[in-house]
Amino acid sequence: MSSERPASTRPSAPDTSSNAVAGNDATGLFTRSEEELPPLSTGATATVDAEPKSAFDRFFEITRRGSTLGREIRGGIVTFVTMAYIVILNPLILGGVDDVAGNALDAAQIGAATGLTAGVMTILFGVIARLPFALAAGLGINSFLAVSVVGQVTWQEDMGLVVINGILIVVFGATGIRTAIFKAVPQALKAAITVGIGLFIAFIGFVDSGFVTAGPPGAPPVQLGAGGSITSVPTLIFLLGLVLIGILVARKVPGGILIGIVATTIVALIAQSVLHLGPSVKDPNGWHMTIPELPSSWVTIPDFGLIGQFDLFGAFGRVGALSATMLVFTLVFSNFFDAMGTMTGLAKNAGLAYKDGTFPRLRSAFVVEGFGAVAGGMTSTSSNTVYVDSASGIGEGARSGVASLVVGVLFLLSMFLTPLTLVVPIEVGSAALVVVGAMMMAQIREIKFDKFAVALPAFLTIVTMPLTYSIANGIGIGFISWALVNALSGRARKVHWLMWVVAAGFALYFVRGPIETMLGG
């Protein structure tokens, strides 16, 4: 990591002149021109009047932001190494899960499409938004699709919902609606949603690894391992991976998650070569999904067979308009709050944020991130969103979209290594899920638990997600309880009218069964 701590020169006040972007809204989102942003300086020696060294430098504002081309390249490499685990994890999460029709996505095709989509969208983000943020398939959303949605619809219909979700996010970003909704939701509830998703991801990791199993009749619903103890080699390998990745992340080793996955996979390969374990369906002590074995070929031509395999409106006919609408609603909210919070935090970390929390080319960033969701659905890789792992590259000095170009190119190269995705067992991937879930728990510090009108809705949001295995349920319970508790305890003015609209929509969702019966659905 770079020892330099860039000092940020405070940007000038927002531009409210006639040159500001047309179509200003009540939120004040577009009160400054995206083409005439005040100069930004994030380097210790840079000045707002620093002359660009070339047209390339001028376009990406490298010198203006106090950076160098070398620093941008180094930052891009670090960001890729830090988040490259998604090329391995995404096939593990989405692959091997049968949909309602009994079909499953091919893991190798998912790996190829994951690298392609992440590469293309990150390059577009770097060129259009010109910020050092990288995009890839979002953890949490892909788990939601694999666990909660695909049991009701086919994979093609599942990804069609993701495309619709992305189109809505593009519209919200382009018009300013996204910021209006974001500001209507209390910060504590936003944080609770993130924390709840983190717990949900971690719980999925515990279950998929065999660390937590269903209890027998008459016993508690869940138990530790098989029969209340940890006995299987795959589960012990999960624990090894969890500890190793945790240590690397705690020591702030760049690429700690990826290094931990690779190291633990090597241990799994050795264990399998000695013990010759089978699948858990035949042997309770066997592997839960992928059996770790070396592929016959390490490099392959990417298989893009999943591209275009989506059904835009099929889910509405299969589960009904109300249920499908609420699934889209959940996807939008999950995508919406995670990306907004991530981009705001990264911009602040890079010294690129204004006093009001906005940052350069904000609208462009929102729109491109929304197209990431569309692209993810069209390629069956799940919604692509900005990764908080980009902070590693920012810590290395990245300040412009050049770093994103580097990350994008490296993701495109990863497409030729998709056989590696079939080597990693789910037990190893589950260890990474638990660590990522723990990272998301950091948002809990934004919640003031000493105020019960805040604590109860936040608590219900957090615990409902993992306990009901549903992000939708957690968000819905949180919105409804926040509106009711605050309104009936004399704090009605603290509940924005948009909160009531959302809460009413979720209330309708929770009683949709009788309604659909009455409507003949």
Q: What is the pLDDT of residues 437-471, one digit of tens each?
A: 888 888 888 899 999 999 999 999 999 988 988 77
Contact at 8 Å (CB) between 482 and 451? no
The reported pLDDT for the residue numbered 12 is 38
Q: What is the pLDDT of residues 290-306, one digit of tens each?
A: 788 887 777 888 999 99
Cα gap 160→198, rounded to integer Å? 25
Average pLDDT, the chain: 82
Share of the chain above pLDDT 90, in %: 31
- Which tops the pLDDT comparison, 518 or 270? 270
Produce one character per residue of 496-505: b if its CB has 16 or more CB atoms within 10 Å, e if not: beebbebbeb
| Residue 374 clears pLDDT 90, i.e. is over it | yes
The reported pLDDT for the residue numbered 518 is 64
List all residues 6 or more positions away from 427 whose beta carbon is below 8 Å from its beta carbon: 208, 209, 210, 234, 235, 237, 238, 241, 268, 287, 288
pLDDT bracket for residue 166 (50, 70, 90)? very high
The reported pLDDT for the residue numbered 453 is 92
Q: What is the pLDDT of residues 26-52, one digit of tens each?
A: 333 333 434 434 444 333 334 445 677
Contact at 8 Å (CB) between 399 and 182? no
Q: Where are the alpha helices (DSSP H) in 44-154?
A: 55-60, 69-83, 86-94, 107-128, 141-144
Q: What are the extents of the domains in the chain?
A: 448-521
Point out which residues pair with 384 in neighbouring strands: 137
Q: What is the pLDDT of residues 342-365, one digit of tens each?
A: 887 788 878 887 766 578 888 899
Q: What is the pLDDT of residues 202-235, one digit of tens each?
A: 898 898 888 888 877 877 888 887 766 787 899 9
The amino acid that residue 183 corresponds to is K
Return the CA Rg of the chain.
23
What number of helices (H) and strands (E) belong to the chain? 20, 4
| Residue 314 clears pLDDT 60, i.e. is over it | yes
pTM summary value:
0.72
List all residues 6 or more positions away from 506 whose beta carbon is below 8 Å from its beta carbon: 326, 475, 476, 477, 479, 480
The reported pLDDT for the residue numbered 90 is 92
